[in-house]
Amino acid sequence: MLRCVLFIAALLLLMGGPRSGLALEARGPGDPMDQYQVDFKRKNLGPPLGIDQDRVERLLQIEHKYKSMKRQAIQDAKGALQQLQQVMNQPQPSEQEVAAILDRMLKLRRDKLALEQQQLQEEKSLLTPVQQARYILLLMNLRQQVAKEAQKVRSAPRGLPLPAKPGPQEMPVSRPGGGY
């Protein structure tokens, strides 16, 4: 029972907040989905946010700068979780060893959150508050669409081709003074 509780607590610690989806961020470098997302953002961020292409490129540079550091943080957290599992599989796990691993897991989580905070601050410096809100909503919409597509792939019968579907739809953004 204690093992189960510790395992669940460790998972919750690792999963964290809305920007830290392990399944979405745990892909390897050069992943086609990463490139698709970058290309989509490059083509579609400017108009909804009301920014020029130069600023879009700067946002993408910020994202790229932090991506590898966040991937490393995720790998470190996974390693700590595996270490915790190994220790907890022992008949009499050492309290000190478990406490040390849990402390390390908390530190890793704080470090990852600090990276995310730094990234948000850099992005914030480029955007007005309204643009920031639009950017967050656009990213959330993109992530939801990616997750839906991934679910379709996972649930599709093996060997059957998936129906072709266009990329993520643009999210309408209301602008002061009327229209979209």
- For the chain, the domain total comes to 1
The answer, as to whether pTM is greater than 0.75, is no
Residue 172 lies inside a defined structural domain of this protein: no
Domain-located, residue 66: yes
Model pLDDT, residue 176: 58
pLDDT of residue 154: 81
The answer to whether the beta carbons of residues 41 and 56 sit under 8 Å apart is yes
Q: What is the mean pLDDT of each run of 10 residues along the chain (180 residues)?
A: 41 39 45 80 89 93 92 94 95 94 95 94 92 90 83 76 57 55
127 within a domain of the structure (yes/no): yes
In a domain, 157, yes or no: no
Give domain status of residue 170, yes or no. Answer: no
Within-domain flag for 164: no
Q: Tell whether 176 is covered by a domain.
A: no
Range of the domain at 141: 2-152
Contact 96, 134 (CB under 8 A): no
The reported pLDDT for the residue numbered 167 is 56
Q: Is there a domain that residue 59 lies in?
A: yes
